[in-house]
Structures are given as structure tokens and as C-alpha cells.
Chain A
Amino acid sequence: MTQIELTVNGEKRSDEVEPRLLLVHYLREVLGLRAANVGCDTTSCGACTVLLDGKSVKSCTVLAVQASGHEVTTAEGLSADGELHPVQAAFRQNHGLQCGFCTPGMVMAAVGLLSENPHPTETQVREGLEGNLCRCTGYHNIIRAVLAAADAEQTSTTGTDAEVAA
């Protein structure tokens, strides 16, 4: 067993884990944070995506011990006080989810994408989310949601022009 110390959703954690324990299983089984899901065996589907120091990673391909000393954010920790994060809100507003299984990973991947590229084109969103699979939506509304979240972000950071115009 190996001792790990990390921050998960703002809380400091210290746990003894098996060296082969995957980060996704640490989050789900040890911490009870079950928003991230396991949808494949090959790092293909992205249902397990979380943020590691602000960058999206597939937590099925990170060992818990590799996350030691780092900050992990999951869908549970994305929003505070019961409010939806702008990306989460955009997914709801645009019906960007159906069965919900890919959703927490998709949202985290989108947050990671927008932090790297705050104003992506549709093609950039599609390419940025290529590693996150969804079987329900045909991706149409997911793409719309991410583009809408980017627009919302732009509006809130560039002042109130849009509100004045409205």
C-alpha cells in the first residue's frame, strides 16, 4: 500500500491505496464520488474525465498514486452552493444530455477545452471532444451547449454590451 496526499474538490485527502488503483476507482470507491463513470477499457470514451490541476484527464488512465500532490476536480466539485457551473447550465439549457452516463466526463472535458480555448469554433469543439463518446445525442446539442457556454463566458467577461443591446 502507498500513502497518497491530494486535494479533491478543494478538500485535502490522505489515503493508503494499492499502487495499481486507478484514479477513477479511488474517486468512486474510496471517496464515493461517483459522477465520473467507467465506460470502456481503452481510454476511448472519456466518461471518466476529471480535471487534474485544471487540465482534463481520463481518470481511468491515471493511477491514484500519480495524482498524489495534485488537485483533482470532479463534476461534483465544479459548482458551488448548488448552482450550476456555466458549462453545466449550458448543457441543461441546450438539452446536451440524455441518459447522462457520458455527461460528467463530457462536461469536465468541455471545461478543460474552454480553459485552453475560450472561444472555439464548432470544428474546434468537435475536435476537442473527439475523445468523449456519447451514444444518445448525436453530439448535436453537446456542441451547441459548449459553444453557448463559450458565448456566455465571453459576455460575462467583456462587460455588458450584450445586455445593453438587449
Chain B
Amino acid sequence: MSILGTRVLRTEDPKFLTSGGVYTEDVVDDRLDGACHVFFVRSPLAHARINSVDVSAALEAPGVVAVYTGADLADLAPIPPSAAGLINTEMQQRLLATDKTRFVGEPVAAVVTEHPYQGEDAIELVSVDYEALPAVLGFDPSDDSLLYEAAGTNVAGYWGDASSLNPELFDGCEVVVKETIINQRVAPAPMETRAAAAVWGEDGRLTAWIPNQGAQGTKAELAKLLGIDESLVRVITPDVGGAFGAKFGADPEHVVTAWVARRLGRPARWTETRYENLIAMTHGRAQQHTVTIGGSRDGNVQAYRLEIVQDAGAYPRIGAVLPMLTILMTTGPYDIPKAESVAKVVVTTTTPIGAYRGAGRPEATAAIERAIDLFAAEIGADPADVRRKNLLAPFTEPHRTAFGALYDTGDYVAALDKALDAAGYAELRKEQAQRRASGDIRQLGIGVASYVEITGMGDGEGTPPQENATVEVHPDGTATILTGTSPHGQGHATAWAMIASEELGIPIDKITLKWGDTDLIPEGGGTGGSRSLQQGGAAVQQAAQELIELARLRAAAQLEANAADLVFDKSRSAFNVAGDPDASVPLTQLAENERLLIRTVFSQPGATFPFGTHVAVVEVDTETGKTSLRRVITVDDAGTILNPLLAEGQRHGGIGQGAAQAFLEEVVYDEDGNPLTTSFADYPIVSATEVPSFELADMATPTTYNPLGAKGIGEAGSIGSTPAVQNAVVDAVAHLGVRHIDMPVTSRRVWQALQAAQPGSEQ
């Protein structure tokens, strides 16, 4: 029986459960003996001119080795904005702020001490003379206060041309609905914060341990920002305690830690506190959507427009690029004859925005799924029926959208109906009707969200999506896999071993996976964008198959047989001559005289497009506005499933995070740009009491783009659940006159919406 498709328990678990993972802060290595500790003095003001920095008192404090300011790093180039050519090139970030600070939490100075506790004390002694400037906040910041005087504007750039929008787009529509929706800023908040450990060898090379999602990308960025050749950098990836898109590349603090190690000629370590993590690690989302949707009274959607404003935060990094993906996925799974989408990117005096689970696609789904519900409410139709009426028909040949996305395979109506069946949709609507009729204070809300998303994208520069793998069989019966992907909870060690085991006939507990050391694996795309299995896993399969063919030639020579007459018996991991089981040679023996090893690159024709439908059921207390999430039922079709246990885990996690955005989580700033959500006591990160157990229904429409038939599953949960939960809360109080509530749909927001909707209210 094939091991593929079975619920194999994770081989990596025993370590995590007993001695614990070895995260960057846990790394014990001779090279790091005697390391000093780096702490950052961070701006307490959202926007300020720096007149001077006085480090004299800090230098006198116990254990202080050195204190550095931006002036000390003058030789290092600033970080340029993302999306060169589209984003204003004046919007650059110094590694330590020099003339200005642009968000609360921006690093201004680095204090280096012998012991961590000394560093926490000493950063208080650095005195910075700030001249406060007005904060710049919101999606329509004026240019009265400029983050970058040289840029002359707080608009960083545009995706698409707003002046080209068609004024006649909605002509002929019987019903047109328009709404402005906030897709709020949230914190990725991986349980492991950011960290680094760095040491320079006598050979002039840097070795850096950094929690990341792709060591090769981190190496490239470190080298670029340090101004050295990539060959002089080795990145080692310890265990990584969650990332969710926010641990790609290298941040200023990583670079400064490496720089400090070079400057002092001794190893240096840095671990941020949760406070620092919540104000200085990139945030996610932060888009404003103006949706306009038009169609016929009988429910055909004929036109849709999405106008996006992306708040990129203080420095336009990955956040500035997110609208590209939102625009690409504008119409989602729907067949809408006319659609258009444009985006404006602004800078504000807030934490920079980066990727967060889904990165641009959840925003597109949230926008259209609210729009569909607004349209359904306007024509008095069941939102599930409106979806069924407008979803693309099933297709097996790739479908090109008006925005250029090429959907590989899909059956969106089937996913919708499966989810509705699993939820008992008709019964739920009956119960809702009863509660409405009886005036129950606990109203039932049912939210539906259908989605399609893009996973495993290429680099956007024409190179097809690809990943490398190396598979080696050793004479002792074990095997080693090297991968360019970078697990941080996804279970690659188990999954990649399953794939290799299937080809080689070697048990998974004898297969070791290695990743994340750039000297061992110089190339790789890391793990993100739900790409790993479809490309990294497929590469392992391809390498293992090529290895068998290499071994076949050796076996033919050894058995003095024709290679074509040899059969590989997986049950014994050995070749034998067809019809003659006694003429046999095991794989291990073929590795004895010469290494039995294959490195290969798997290329995929394009990105894949998983899809599904989520149904959320909530109870809303109409007296207090409190929402209780009762059920989440999902169909997430990610093609063929390699290990259901792992796929379900990815779905659960995504559903939890996505639901949390809908009704709990938000990064909040006050009017002066002070962050108010700077600890887990203030940032309402979802806990076990706020979500139910999830109900998953299975559906698998394989892709033809890789032999595994697999699409990405890492982000689907967070894409479908957010609008499903939001729609459910609005649905619960729709009969009381509420049309829309922005996320997070907190008790206060629901209560306010109910007050505003009461007869006699001015709104």
C-alpha cells in the first residue's frame, strides 16, 4: 500500500515534546561562546526629527560594551523600497534612524552588553533629543506633514491607473451597491519573536543564525544590506517558532546584529521582546476597499469595481507590493463580465506592513465576499444562491481571468454545495428564522465565503515556479534529503520523507531532511505563498525517481543484466532481474563504491489555484453586541492530499487566524500614532476559548501542474474564514437594519451598528 495520502504521524514531534525545539535563542555553539547581547533603543514617537543622541550615560552603565547610533552605520546603505519603478525611491529606511523617526518602535540606537539584563537596563539611559512632528495616519493622509520631505508626498505609488476607470462600468445594472470597507491592520505575532546570532570567522565570512522562511533569501538580503558579497554569508536556520509571512528576508535588527559582531570582533546575539515584536515586526493587511457591485434583480452580478488603498506603514516594503496580488484576485471564483481594480499605496507613521498569511489574497476575498453579501441583501436574495448563480462553471482546462490570473482547475459550485450540506445550511436558516420571529436576544448568523486563491507563484519576472531537492541513499540504509524549502511547523521532515520513501522503499524513520543552511543548500525559495509541497515536495519526488534510474544503471552493471530487464522492488528496496528474484542487488549496495545522489530542479508550468467555501455560524447577543463563534465548516480543495493529518493542521491554523481577524484582532494606534496594542494583554490574539472545534469536509480536485496533484494549503484557512465570520455577524443582525460592520466585529462595533440602525436613529 502506498504511504502517500495516509495519516503519518510527524517524525519531528518527539524532540519538540520533550527537550523542545532549538530556536535561535536556544542555539548553543562553540562559535557563539562569549557572545555579547544587542538591545535596541526605539523611537517613542510616531514622527520626530532627531536632534541629537547622547549615549554617554549608557556607556557608563554596568556591562555595557558599546553603544551605536545611526552615525556609526553611515557606511551601510539604506533599505530601498520594494517594487522599484512603481514606488517612490526617496522612501528609504536607514538601519538605525538618523535624521528622523517614522514610527513608534523604529530602532534609533543599539546598546551592546555582556548580559541581557544589563541591556534592558542600559537602553533606558540613552538620551535622544526628539522634535515631535505631526503623526500621519489613515488611508487618506494629507501632505501637510510629510514622512519624506524629498518625496513631496505621502503617496508611495500606484498599481493601475485610477483615471482609466470606466465611468460606464455599471451602466445597465438594475442594482448597484457601494461600500467602503476596512481590512484592518493585524499583527502576525508568531510565538517565537525575531532573533539573531552572528559571528564572523577568521576567513572573513559571516555565520548568522536567524529564524526565517528561506535562508537563501535571508542570505541575499543580509549580504546586500551589509554591502558584501553573498559568498561571504552563511545563514543557518534553527527551528523557527512560526512565521506567517513575517520572517522572510532580513530586517534592520538582523543586519545591525551582524554588523555589531563584525565591529566588535566577537559574536553577538539579539532576541526581541514581545513588546518590540508587536511594534517593530511588520504588520499585515491594512487595506481600505471601496467596492462597487452591480447586477440584475434576479441575482446576476454584471460588474464589479475594487478601489484599494494600501497603508504601507512608514517604509514601503512588502506591503507596497500586496495590492498587486489583491488586484490579481479581484473577481475571485466569480464569472463577472466587467471588472476593474486599482490601488494607491500610502505611507503613514506606523509600523511597516509586510506579508501575513495570505498576503494580498485574503484582502481580495474579503472585499468580494462582502460585496456579494451586500448585493444579495440589496436584492433580498439568499447569499448562497447568489454565489451559486455567479460562480465560474467547473473547468479542467486553465481559465484566464480579466486580471491575468490563469486558474488551473476548479469546481467552485461543488465546493459551495458540499460546504452548505456539511453545515446543514437549510436547517440553520430555519433556526435563524425562528429566532428572528421570537425576538431572541441571541440571534443566529450564518456567513458564507467562497474563494479561490493563488499558491506557488513564480518570482514575477518570468521564471517558472521551481524548487530544488537533493536525495542521497547511504550504504547503511538511510537516506538524506536536502530541500530549498524551509519548514517552520508545516511538517516537511515527515512529508518529504513520505515522498522519498514511496520511491525508494526506505522507511521514513531512516530518512533525514536538511534545510536552511546556505552552505549546504545554496539555492532555494523557502516556504511561503503555500508553495512548498507542490514545488519542493515535487522536487523530492523527481530527485528520488531520477536516483532510481541512476541506481538502475549501476545495478545492471553489477548484475550483468540489461537495465530494461530490471525491476525495482520497493518492498525490499532492491533491484532484481525480471523473473529471477534471486538475481538481486539492494539500493544500499549500489551506494557503496560511489555516492548515490541526485540533485534536481522541479519546475511547475505556473501557479496553482486552490479553492473552497467556508460557512461560519455565530450567535450575536443583541443587547451587548457580543459575538460567539459557534461553528466553522470548510471545504478547502487543495488538490491531492499527501498527508491528511498535516493538511488538516494547516487548515485549522488558518481558520483560527482568519476568524480572529474577523472578530477579535486589530493593531490600534491613537491619534498621535502611539500603538495601543503592544502586549498580549492588549492585542487580543485568539485564545482557545474564542474558537470552536472546526468541521472540515474533504474535496480534492488534482492539479495537473505537478505529479503529486497538489496545490497549496497553508493559507486557504485564513482566506475563507475571515469573510465567512464577518458575513455571519452582519447576517445575525441584518434583519434589525444593519448592512455592514467593519472588522474586527467587536461587541462595541456590533452594539453601535444596532443603535445606529434603530428606528429614529439619525443614521
Contacts and interface: CB of A to CB of B under 8 A. Distances in A.
Interface stretch (B302-310, B323-331, B407-415, B644-652): B644-652
A88 B17 contact: yes
Contacts of B18: 35, 75-76, 78-79, 84, 88
Nearest to B679: A42
Given A100-B241, A122-B693, A41 B20 contact: no
Chain A: number of interface residues, binned into ranges: 35 or more
Most buried by B among A78, A102, A136, A137: A136
A20 B121 CA distance: 13
A73 interface: no
A128 to B, nearest CB: 9
27 contacts: A28-B26, A34-B19, A35-B18, A37-B191, A37-B192, A37-B241, A42-B681, A44-B679, A45-B274, A92-B17, A95-B648, A99-B192, A99-B242, A99-B489, A101-B191, A102-B191, A103-B21, A122-B693, A125-B688, A126-B689, A133-B685, A136-B242, A138-B694, A138-B717, A140-B652, A141-B648, A143-B688
Contact of B652 (A78, A132, A138): A138
B240 interface: yes
Contacts of B689: 126-127, 130
Contact of B680 (A44, A97, A107, A142): A44
B239 interface: yes
A95 B645 CA distance: 7
B649 A98 contact: yes
- The prevalent SS among residues of A at the interface is loop
Interface string A20-58: 100000001000101111111110110100000000000
B273 interface: yes
A72 interface: no
Interface string A100-126: 111110010000000000000010011
Contacts of B524: none
Chain B: number of interface residues, binned into ranges: 35 or more
Given A100-B489, A140-B693, 13 more contacts: A37-B191, A45-B191, A45-B274, A75-B19, A88-B14, A92-B17, A95-B649, A132-B688, A135-B189, A136-B191, A139-B652, A141-B652, A143-B688
Contacts of A42: 274, 679-681
B653 A98 contact: yes
B488 interface: yes
Contacts of A38: 25
Closest 10 CB pairs of A and B: A138-B656, A101-B241, A35-B20, A99-B489, A100-B16, A98-B489, A44-B680, A138-B652, A40-B274, A101-B191
Given A98-B490, A99-B191, A135-B242, A104 B653 contact: no
A156 interface: no
B489 A136 contact: yes
A138 B693 CA distance: 9
Nearest to A144: B693
Nearest to B654: A138
Contact of B688 (A20, A100, A139): A139
